[in-house]
Amino acid sequence: MERLQTTYIDSVILHNPPREILEGKTKHEEEFQRIKRMGKIRGYGVSIDTLEELELVLNNWDVDVIEILFNIIHQSPKHLFDKVKERGILLAVKVPLDSGWLTGKYNSNSKFEGIRARWSQDVILKRAMIVDKVKAIVKDEDLVKYAIGFILSFDAVTTVITGVKNIQQLDTNIKASEFKLSNELKRELERLYEEEIKPLNLPW
C-alpha cells in the first residue's frame, strides 16, 4: 500500500475464483472480513461470469461488490439483479461490448488475433448474425450507446467497465453513458435474447 500512497484499498475482488470458493468452503471470506475490520480494505467481492455463479455468491457470501459478465448477448445474470440490489451490493458489469462485437465493427469476414482467436468460425458467423439483428432493432450501425444504455437501464447496475485504447473511445463511452435507452428498444433486445440468442448458448 506504500506504493499506492494510501492506507487502505477501496475494494479487493477475486477474479473468477473456483467453485469451492464461491460455495464458501474456504476461508477466503473470513480473511476478507478480518482485514476489512482492520481498515485495510473498505469492501470485497468477486468477479464472475454466469447466472449460476451469481446464485452461489448470493447464497454463500456477504460481499460488498460483484463484477459480472453481462451484455446484450449474455443476459442471463439479470434474473438475480433484484436480489443484488436488495442486498445493497455494488454491481460492476464487465465485457459490456462483448469483446468488441457490440460496437458494430465486426462482421462474418472479420479476422481475430490474440484472445479473440478463441472464437470458431461457427461462433463468428452466429455473432455476426446477432449483431445484424441488433442493428436492425436499433436502426443504427454504431451500437456502443445502445449496448451501454441497455446495461445501465437496469437499476441494480452501479458501473460499467469499458476498455479503452484511445481518447476517442473514452469520449464515445462517456457519451454513451448519458444515453437513455427507450423501454421499447429494451424490450426488443430482451426478446431477441430470449427467443434467438439464448438457444445458441454462445461462449463469451
| pLDDT tens per residue, range 74-129 | 999 999 999 999 999 999 999 999 999 999 999 999 999 998 999 999 999 999 99
- H or E element at residue 138: helix 121-138
- H or E element at residue 172: helix 167-177
Q: What average pLDDT does this structure show over 23-48?
A: 96
pLDDT at residue 64 tops 80: yes
Q: State how far the Cα of 128 lies from the Cα of 61, in Å rounded to an integer.
A: 38
Where residue 163 falls among pLDDT bands split at 50, 70, 90? Answer: confident
pLDDT at residue 142 tops 90: yes
pLDDT at residue 1 tops 80: no
pLDDT at residue 141 tops 80: yes
Comparing 173 with 1, which gets the higher pLDDT?
A: 173
Block residue for cell numbers 462483448: 98
**Mean of the per-residue pLDDT values of the chain:** 95
